[in-house]
Structure 1
Amino acid sequence: MKLSNYGEFPADIPVIAEDEIFLYPFMISPLFLSDEKNIEAATKAIDENTLVIVCPTKAEHEGEREYESLYDAGVVGSIMRKVSLPDGRVKVLFQGLARAKSLYKVSDDPLIAHVDILEPTEVNSLKIDAILEVVREKVRALSAVSNYFPPDLLRTIEENHDHNRIIDLICSTIKLKKEQAYKLFVETDTEKRFLDLIDILIDEIEANKLQKEIRSKVHTHIEKVNKEYFLKEQLKQIQKELGTDTAREEEIEEYYKKLEAKKDKMGEDAYKEIKKQLERFARMHPDSSDASMTQTYLDWVLDIPFGSFAKKALKIENVETQLDKDHFSLEKPKERIVEYFAVKELLELRGIALKKGAGAILCFSGPPGVGKTSLANSIATALKRPLIRIALGGLEDVNELRGHRRTYVGAMPGRITQGLIDAKKMNPVIVLDEIDKVSRSQRGDPTAALLEILDPEQNSEFRDYYLNFDLDLSNVIFIATANDVGRIPAPLRDRMEFITLSSYTPQEKFEIAKRYLLPQELKKHGLKKSELTISKPALRELIHSYTREAGVRNLRRRIAEMCRKAARELLKNSEIEKVSVSVKNLKEFFDKSVFEIQKTDKVPVVGVVNGLAWTAVGGDVLKIESIRIKGKGNLQLTGSLGDVMKESARIAMSVVKTLIDKRKLRISEDNIPMTYSEKTEKIKVDPSEVYKRYDLHVHVPDGATPKDGPSAGIAMVSVIASILSSRKIRSEIAMTGEVSLSGEVLPIGGLKEKLIAAHKAEMSKVLIPFKNYERDLDDIPKEVQESLEIVPVKRVEEVLKQVLI
């Protein structure tokens, strides 16, 4: 195929951009096109049977397909074949015909340029032949120190007399940078091309000579290292025979001393296993992989503090004092913790060994920020024992707890064993944080390992896979923490005793902030007590309007934010000696308030009721709304409700229907939509027709938040009864309780958080199930009980009598 078979040049032809290399006229090359511009250019050339020019992209613009990102020179040639590949790319077989230069851009879609052929200038044949001979000599020299030129290519260069063809052949073989290749490519003066090429070949020869010399030195060095290694090994054997190799012997002797020192304190199986591995290590070649693994094992096991215990005598007065010092309120949790340690102290005083299975594992449960982990810290401080915290959140590999078997690469003891090593005592306080967030996966179920760790019947013989012997964990005080007890598997839940930490009341938060948070944050931020003051009303407003939580974590963050701004103000203005925060300037310290719970407006409304809900961050007042639309008695539920709440709404609908049928819920005739004939003929309509002639829509606002739980029954009954009877609901009353089909009010959980939420919303009356009133009222803070009229209810009739006007 010749260039003369196509039209004359200069001509407008499509442009294909090439990222990798410069192509040359003699080449037949496959090109893989993946972007649209290149594919369109190739398609146009095939469809119109025209040539294309393949231009390389500039080094700094690789991947771009704009005209300005390409070199203005390339190879003009034809596309011999085009194949579409399964991955969306297009493969074309391109044959280069001539060097060409792109003069200017003609079109962008597809990319077309005005192109002219690069014609070489005439040369002095004698001079050029002499230069050519020099080039061939340099090529031979380069081939002697590199593998660039195979024999057939050398033969072609020796026998060919086309000067520019020879230059292109050599350029395509040696690895040129794009800028070098471009300068040689666009040069039309053959003599200058040859001279530039000679300079490049000389540089290549020097570089390859240097590489060859370095390779030779490296090879020699490796041989020397191998020789030295062999001689050292011989020397080691000779020294061993002579008894002069003492370093390794001393190391092994040190291991034996450590083992014998701990022999009486460890179990027999532990001693046998460690001694067996130590004897194996002594027989091993020191440079083998097994020796390294065994030495790592010995380092781990001989660091385990066998027989080492914290000697501090247990005194419940110390525990009680420390808990009171570190925590405000939390009376019942603190009382249970003191009882737990009182049993231990009594057994110690009377010399009675704690029987297997007699100990209890404490688990602090409650919302984030209420002080679960800090209670464990206080216990460790009071007992003068080291505290080890193991975060279980997201743990899904059982080997993290049990240890990896030593056959695996990178095997390590489990976290429990590592905790004992870090503590340097066999009786530390180990906090298993977020035990409700352990995950099960294909790598095992970590909760199964936790059963053995936490079961007092079994943990005296806990086996770590890495150690391959039993550890006694019966002296360890395990304390677990959890946000949601329901997510802990039942067998594991059965091993633990739960101490529930509920939400703090606003007054409790105020005292905690005043006594603990503010002094701690002032100290952390380098401020004196006199340099930052906050008034009591401002602190109460900060708690009420700028935090939304059950605990005090966000409150601590807000106080820290206030301290930072105060520190900045003191440094910025040296004349200021004190920063005072009051209700008036509170907004200057904080961006915006978080309206935690909307206060009641005390205006009765039809079809809106105040329910009480438990959430992960404490209690909340949940408004439930309802409207009626003429229809056939259908019930529509919205507000991202879970299955339990949907069932509560359907049960509530049935209960209200029953009340209407039994005439226990009065329905005015004005509420019943009547047909024209019924109106004209003055037909008396049965009250039960009201729920047959309306469709009800019940909605719980804040639809983006999922809601579920068995406590919305009586609220659903109230709102449906209100909308069907057109009677208003007292807006200062809130309620919680589930309902049965027979109309009985059933007990619920989370009463403390719910009543605190009602207290914050300034409700005057709360309806709760009678069983909760009998059972849970002692847990409610006095200030909440004093601010609310708490009314126990047994049946829905009592509820409707209280709330409907």
Structure 2
Amino acid sequence: MNLSNYGEFPADIPVIAEDELFLYPFMISPLFLSDENNIEAATKAIEESSLVIVCSTKPGHDGERKHDSLYEAGVIGSIMRKVSLPDGRVKVLFQGLARAKTIYEVSSKPHIAHVNVLEPINNDSPKLDAFLEIVREKVRILSGVSNYFPPDLLRTIEENHDHNRIIDLICSSVKLKKEQAYKIFVEVDTEKRYMHLVDYLIEEIEANKLQKEIKSKVHTKIEKVNKEYFLKEQLKQIQKELGTDTQREEEIEEYRNKLEAKKSKMDQDAYKEIKKQIDRFSRMHPDSSDASMTQTYLEWVLEIPFGEEAKKALKVHDVSEQLNKDHFSLKKPKERIVEYFAVKELMELRGIKNDSDAGAILCFSGPPGVGKTSLANSIAEALKRPLVRIALGGLEDVNELRGHRRTYVGAMPGRITQGLIDAKKMNPVIVLDEIDKVSRSLRGDPTAALLEILDPEQNKEFRDYYLNFNIDLRKVIFIATANDVGSIPAPLRDRMEFITISSYTPQEKFEIASRYLIPQELKKHGLKKSELSISKPALKELIHSYTREAGVRNLRRRLAEMSRKVAREILEKPELKKVSLSVKNLKDYFEKTVFEIEKTTKKPVVGVVNGLAWTAVGGDVLKIESIRIKGKGGLTLTGSLGDVMKESARIAFSVVKTLIDTNKLKIESSNVPKTFKEQEDKVKVPASEVYKRYDLHVHVPDGATPKDGPSAGIAMCSVIASILSSKKIRSEIAMTGEVSLTGDVLPIGGLKEKLIAAHKANMSKVLIPAKNYERDLEDIPKEVRDSLDIISVSRIEEVLEEVLV
């Protein structure tokens, strides 16, 4: 089809805007039209059997088909077919005939422009032929490094001699940007068109060569990786069949490297043992159980931080500051801890090495909740050392400490070694919690293993059975905690220095709650300080009536309970800005009171005495009661008494008998029963034999609670003397002390807790052994000393003189 079949140009013809394609005169292409102007232009061309010009849109146009958004040059051609599609678009088959250029716009709807054909300028035929050969050569080169030209197109380029047609064919096959394509398309000078095309072809050849080279390298690398993977998988299968494994060899090499890296920091014995196990592991079959156990061993031992230590210099000032920051009161324990670290700092400053004292052991002893473990936490924080806590409560297997021998699956290092691994340092602070609750069993005695761990003379060569070599524990700071020192075996007690942390007084509890517990619990429960206020009387009442303990753990629980209820109240009542607690509304936040210690009465009573006792939760006032029953001088004891307390009662009975026989405890005739006086008149039986006519029953109330200890002697004497002589006992007096058969008052322990209990019970006078008065009175809090009249006694006669009315 020729252009001459359609009238002369310039002419007014419809314009179709094309976004995607850049068309050339020789092309027959389907066009999909969705724009109304394009559809109207195609319809007009078909109805009038006229030509149309297809112009490409310029890059970056805003989507509107205006005249200035189109390139001026395009392809004139005819629409061979038109089909309406279901989605509203129109498909036309367009045949390009010639290049043309729009001169001006005639109409915008439909889009019609005045168009003229672009006539090519062919100046010098030999020169154009030379250009054609150059272009053909470049096309052949480009076809070798790209897939732009199919064989049919190459043949057409080689056989055709129409310069502009060849240029259009090449431009339609390569990837030209719209600007480049339009620049070559609109040019009428064939020589310039060739020059533009040659420049582009040279650039495209270089780009494709580089791209092909990169692709080749990547492909080669991928092939190499795939090949290596394939060969490795094959090798694995072969090695699996033969019982060998390259991965295992890599692991063994890794173990050797780790060992060599730590060689300079470990003992020669440890190095030899680990190296021996690595060599042994390399010879084992990988599927054997021994190989699995040995590999587990190597992974454990190579995690031990040989030579790694916390680098912070020891400063006693930091320790003192941290202790004062975290704890209220505890003056004596704090002083002893600071002294301990002062000695270590002085020795470090002067370069003195004293291995025998490098690992001296401190043991904090006292009732639960008084801050034993938190003191250890403060020490670790001050020294910037990792803290390892080992709970010994109920421990009965010695292997838990020494490690299990590697004779069975599941063997593990001991807790000490595991603690060092977890701390990643060889000088951590290790807390041995509840050291008094270690148990003996058929699996050994863990306290015997603790002897080596805690003895500064032995722990420099502590041997873990699992490791099978020695570990130096001298740089570890061991801190033990215990509730009852008496239950610790004597050899183990000898290795430790005990720092007793006694019960807190009510005033100390008040200060601790105000300074630490209340702010901490408010923060834990998302409350602000401004949202809760608790009055001083309310806090004192909470401490006195709602808690029963030596420490502050239950007090913290009570404050947490209060905080939860306050949080709920604030959520349920948005208008509530602040909750105030006073003595009046305290019951609204706490369910029931716990009567800690019964208050004393001032009325003297026969056969009831106030004894002072030490318990695991602090001191207590223990009332001891006695009655007499007609009998033959027997003694009955009830109240879940231990053997020691039963012996104290029997000794007290004998002492009182002696006092009656020697007339040191007088029984007046008015106090002697009538039947006894009648017998005396007839038989002349002395009044001192009153204890032969009665059986005594001594009872310590709260019978379900076991009671034992060597400090109830003088209380037992007092209550027996009272019931036999019918003399009343002053109820505002409390006492503690053991008594000997000769009547001497012997010293006791736990004096601080006992006197705090007497203070809480509003006692006015307390009798204590003279030796305790001389030795322990300075440890008693001042507020307790000021509230009590503390009297020292050395003989039972002095006791009876004070208590009997």
Q: TM-score higher than 0.5 here?
A: yes
Equivalent in the alignment of 2:288: 288
Mapped partners of 1:357, 1:483: distance in 2: 25
Asked if 2 retains the 8 angstrom alpha-carbon contact of 1:357 and 1:455, the reply is: no
User: Which secondary structure state, in structure 2, belongs to the residue aligned with residue 512 of structure 1?
Assistant: helix
Letter aligned with residue 711 of structure 1:
S
In 1, the alpha carbon distance for the partners of 2:536 and 2:581 equals 10
Question: What is the identity, as a one-letter code, of the residue corresponding to 2:754?
Answer: K
Aligned to 2:132: none
Alpha-carbon deviations, 1:370-429, whole Å to 9, x = none?
111000000000000000000111111111111112221111111111111100000000
Describe how 1:247-266 pairs up with structure 2 within 5 A: 247-266=247-266
Determine the C-alpha separation between the residues in 1 that align with 2:594 and 2:470: 53
Q: Which residue of 1 aligns with 2:550?
A: 550
**Alignment match, 1:756:** 756
Tell me what 1:714 maps to: 714
Q: Residues 566-623 of structure 1, C-alpha deviation per residue, up to 9 Å, x if partnerless?
A: 0010111111111111100001111110000000011111111111001111000011
Q: Check whether the contact 2:680–2:687 (CA below 8 A) recurs between aligned residues.
A: no
1:797 aligns with 2:801: no
Contact 2:624 2:698 survives alignment (8 Å) = yes
Match of 1:734 in 2: 734
Q: Which amino acid aligns with 2:551?
A: G
- Tell me the equivalent position of 2:351: 351
**TM-score relative to the length of structure 1:** 0.69
The offset of 1:256, in angstroms, is: 1.6
Equivalent positions of 1:398-797 (< 5 A) are 398-675=398-675, 678=678, 686-797=686-797
How far the C-alpha of 1:538 sits from its partner, in A, is: 0.5
Secondary structure of the residue that 1:627 maps to in structure 2?
strand
1:477 Cα deviation (Å)? 0.5
CA contact (8 A) 1:367 1:550 kept: yes
How many residues are matched? 574
**Shift in Å at residue 676 of structure 1?**
8.8
Instruction: Note the C-alpha offset of 1:283.
Output: 2.6
For 2:801 and 2:766, how far apart are their aligned partners in 1?
13
Secondary structure at the aligned position of 2:444 is classed as coil
Residue 298 (structure 1) shift: 1.3
> Which one-letter code corresponds to 1:261 in the other structure?
A
Shift of 1:279: 1.6
RMSD: 2.0
AA aligned opposite 1:406: R
Retained in 2: the 8 A contact 1:660–1:687? no
| 1-structure distance, mates of 2:588, 2:432 | 41
1:276-309 deviations in whole A, cap 9, x for unaligned? 1112222333333322222211111111100000
Tell me the distance in 2 between the aligned counterparts of 1:675 and 1:519.
69
Note if contact 1:673-1:693 (Cα within 8 Å) is conserved in structure 2: no
Contact conserved, 2:628 with 2:696, CA < 8 A, in 1? Answer: yes
**In the alignment, is the contact (CA less than 8 A) between 1:672 and 1:689 conserved in 2?**
no
Q: Give the counterpart letter for 2:518 in structure 1.
A: L
Contact 2:359–2:476 (8 Å) recurs in 1: no
Corresponding letter in the other structure for 1:282: S
Rounded Cα–Cα distance in structure 2 between residues aligned with 1:239 and 1:368: 59
Residue in structure 1 matched with residue 115 of structure 2 by the alignment: none
Corresponding residue number in structure 1 for 2:164: none
Q: In structure 2, how many angstroms separate the alpha carbons of the residues matched to 1:449 and 1:541? A: 47
Equivalent-residue separation in structure 2 for 1:290 and 1:761 (angstroms): 67
Cα pair distance change 1:256/1:676, threshold 3 Å? closer
The 8 Å contact of residues 243 and 286 in structure 2, kept in 1 or not, is answered as no
In the alignment, the residues of structure 2 paired with residue 612 and residue 364 of structure 1 have an alpha-carbon distance, to the nearest angstrom, of 24
Identity %: 82
TM-superposed CA distance for 1:767, in Å, is 0.5
Separation in structure 1 between the aligned mates of residue 680 and residue 668 of structure 2, nearest angstrom: 19
CA distance in 2, matches of 1:598, 1:406: 58
Say if 2:303 is the partner of 1:299: no
| Residue of structure 1 in register with 2:107 after alignment | none
The Cα of 1:684 is off from its aligned counterpart by 6.3
Deviations for 1:190-237, whole angstroms, at most 9, x for unmatched residues?
A: xxxxxxxxxxxxxxxxxxxxxxxxxxxxxxxxxxxxxx9999553568
Q: Secondary structure at the match of 1:707?
A: coil
TM-score, reference length from structure 2 = 0.69
**Cα 1:681–1:331, aligned 2, differ >3 Å: closer, same or farther?**
closer
What amino acid is aligned across from residue 494 of structure 2 in structure 1?
D
Larger radius of gyration: 2
Q: For residue 575 of structure 1, give the secondary structure of its aligned residue in structure 2.
A: coil
> What residue identity is the alignment partner of 2:238?
Q
Q: CA deviation at 1:322?
A: 0.4
Query: Unmatched 5+ residue regions in structure 2?
Result: 1-231
Return the letter of the residue paired with 2:652. A
Structure 1 unaligned residues grouped into runs of 5+: 1-227
Alpha-carbon shift at residue 637 of structure 1 (Å):
1.4
Distance apart, 1:679 and its partner CA: 7.4
Q: CA, structure 1 residues 602+677, in 2 after alignment: closer, same or farther (shift >3 Å)?
A: closer
What one-letter code is carried by the residue in structure 2 that aligns with 1:467?
L
Does the 8 Å CA contact 1:744/1:795 hold for their aligned counterparts? Answer: yes
Partner of 1:339: 339
Question: C-alpha deviations, 1:432-490, integer Å up to 9, x for none?
Answer: 11111111111111111111111111111111111111111111001111111111111
- Matched residue SS, 1:533: strand
CA distance in 1, matches of 2:485, 2:355: 28
Aligned residues of 2:641 and 2:708 also touching (Cα < 8 A): yes
Closer/same/farther in 2, CA of residues 632 and 291 from structure 1, 3 Å limit: closer
Between the aligned partners of 1:757 and 1:776, the Cα distance in structure 2 is 16
Q: Could you say which residue in structure 1 is the equivalent of 2:134?
A: none
Q: Residues of 1 paired with 2:235 and 2:313: CA distance?
A: 61
Shift of 1:238: 8.6
Query: How far apart, in 1, do the equivalents of 2:234 and 2:310 lie?
Result: 52
Q: Distance in 1 between matches of 2:654 and 2:243?
A: 95
Q: Quote the Cα distance in structure 2 between the aligned partners of 1:269 and 1:428.
A: 23
Post-superposition Cα deviations, 1:158-208, rounded to whole Å, max 9, x if no partner, equal xxxxxxxxxxxxxxxxxxxxxxxxxxxxxxxxxxxxxxxxxxxxxxxxxxx
Secondary structure of the 1:390 match is strand
| Residue 239 (structure 1) shift | 12
Contact 2:635 2:698 in 1 (8 A): yes
The residue matched to 2:356 in structure 1 has which SS?
coil
User: How far apart are the structure 1 equivalents of 2:804 and 2:733?
Assistant: 10
Shift of 1:707: 1.1
CA–CA separation in structure 2 for the residues paired with 1:724 and 1:246: 93
Q: CA deviation at 1:674?
A: 3.9
- Give how far 1:630 is off: 2.3
Q: Deviations over 1:520-573 (max 9, x none)?
A: 111111111111111100000000000001111100000000000000101111
The question of whether the paired residues in 2 share the 8 Å contact of 1:661 and 1:687 is answered with no
Q: How does 1:148-159 map to 2 (within 5 A)?
A: none
Q: Which amino acid aligns with 2:412?
A: M
1:148 — aligned with what?
A: none
The Cα shift of 1:357 comes to 4.8
Please say if residues 671 and 690 of structure 1, whose CA atoms lie closer than 8 Å, have aligned partners that are also in contact: no
**SS across alignment from 1:644:** helix
8 Å CA contact retained: 1:309, 1:425: yes
Distance 2:468 2:749 in 1: 45
- CA deviation digits over 1:42-87, x for unaligned, max 9? xxxxxxxxxxxxxxxxxxxxxxxxxxxxxxxxxxxxxxxxxxxxxx
Letter in 1 for 2:317: E
CA separation in 1, counterparts of 2:242 and 2:630? 105
Could you give the per-residue CA deviations for residues 312-354 of structure 1, whole angstroms, max 9, x where no partner exists? 0000000000011111111111111111111110110011112
Structure 1 residues 560 and 680: alpha-carbon distance in aligned structure 2, compared to 1, 3 A threshold: closer
The AA in structure 1 aligned to 2:578 is: K
User: What is the deviation of 1:794?
Assistant: 1.0
Contact 2:679–2:685 (CA<8 Å) still a contact in 1?
A: no
Q: Which runs of 4+ in 1 moved over 4 A?
A: 228-233, 235-240, 679-685
1-structure distance, mates of 2:683, 2:453: 76
